[in-house]
Structure 1
Amino acid sequence: MSRVSRRTVVPLLLVLVVAAGIGLYLFQPWKAFTDTTVNEALPTASAPEVKGGEPSMKSTRPKALAEGRFVTHEHDTSGTARTVRLADGGQVLRLEDLKTSEGPDVRVYLSARAADEAKAGLDDGAVALGKLKGNLGSQNYTVPAGTDLSKLRSVVIWCERFSVSFGAADLAAVSG
């Protein structure tokens, strides 16, 4: 038997260390064992009210526009998604009692696709709302001004790194 030379072992070990580092960066396996809880209150805004010629600020309640329950795709996902119009006219997506997995580069989208179709991928017109703040709890995402919510059918929790949907919720108009 021939002995393996040091000139062979050292480069091989370096390649293995680099490959392990890349694997850890891409997969972030520790996230399978961690949770991030976020519990934000629903934002309130004040709308100007004119009384006797003097403007004053009157707090009004946000108005729910649409809502739906999350369904699981690649990771167990549950909770409620709700779009809300604030008194100042701004729109917010609110995730309530969200439970899903942590993952690398997980983001929140509004999509024209139905929740079950979003499992196959995001549509070209999907609206990015930002990185998922936490995999547990209740959180708010500002909907960009000018977004037509009537054309968007679902909310998708999407992992950019692996192009998979963790879960999605169909949005149905709230009556009243």
Structure 2
Amino acid sequence: MGRVRKVLTRPLVIAVLVMSVGGAGFGLYWFQPWKLWQDKTVEEALPGVMETSAPPAVTPSDPAVTPSDPAVKPSAEPSEQRSAPGPQTLASGELISHEHATSGTVKLVRLADGSHVVRLENLDTSNGPDLRVWLTDAPVKEGRAGWHLFDDGKYVSLGKLKGNRGSQNYALPRDVDPSSYSSVSIWCDRFDVSFGAAQFARL
């Protein structure tokens, strides 16, 4: 009788071990806890902002030229010096912490070509699985009451978070009206929770 019990117990132990290992592997894949200790910094310049240096103007006082020199052209009057239109910040807000400590500035920027980007500046949050940048119409609330609001109403995913630190740009699709949205969330799509969010204040 004892031998029969031993024979029956061995397959059961093996099955439990296989299930335990499989469960642990799935848990590691799903939660990816190691990301909490892995930081990725991404630094992007704002599109359309370029540093340019104009060549020094030649004036008649230069000893190498004379006022009658045809190569010397009078500099343009201030009213004639028109700079190309640059990016314009339409709204901004400060990130607050939700499930994870989060800080930084979020800006809604209209570029010279009429397109829009959401810009994260000096972002600092935790890394995690399947993090996205969401443009939403939900209000931003502090504490646990604000963790799960952003998929209740209208939202647009602007793509995966490029890095949990740094300054980054996220383009809005051309058919999205930015005036219909009022906040941005760093959203964990796997667990339906906000890591941090910012409410826009129109400028």
- Determine if the TM-score, normalized by the shorter chain, exceeds 0.5: yes
Measured on the aligned residues, the alpha-carbon RMSD in Å equals 2.0
Equivalent residue, structure 2, for 1:172 = 201
Distance 2:163 2:84 in 1: 29
Asked which structure has the greater CA Rg, the reply is: 2
Distance 1:112 1:124 in 2: 7
1:111–1:156 contact (8 Å) kept in structure 2: yes
1:59-78 to structure 2, matched below 5 A, reads 59-78=84-103
Superposed displacement of residue 19, structure 1: 0.2
Superposed displacement of residue 132, structure 1: 0.6
Q: Secondary structure at the match of 1:96?
A: strand
Distance 2:49 2:13 in 1: 64
Unaligned runs of 5+ in 1: 47-57
| TM norm structure 2 | 0.75
Q: Percent same amino acid among aligned pairs? A: 51
Q: Secondary structure at the match of 2:176?
A: coil
Matched AA of 1:66: A
Distance 1:16 1:149 in 2: 48
Greater CA deviation, 6-15 or 87-96?
6-15
1:3-18 to structure 2, matched below 5 A, reads 5-18=9-22
From 149, 168, 171, the equivalent of 1:121 is: 149
1:33-44 to structure 2, matched below 5 A, reads 33-44=37-48
Distance 1:59 1:14 in 2: 66
Equivalent residue, structure 2, for 1:52 = none
| TM norm structure 1 | 0.85
Q: Is residue 2:113 matched to residue 1:109?
A: no
Q: Secondary structure at the match of 2:153?
A: coil
1:67–1:83 contact (8 Å) kept in structure 2: yes
Unaligned runs of 5+ in 2: 51-82
1:121–1:163 contact (8 Å) kept in structure 2: no
From 21, 25, 28, the equivalent of 2:25 is: 21
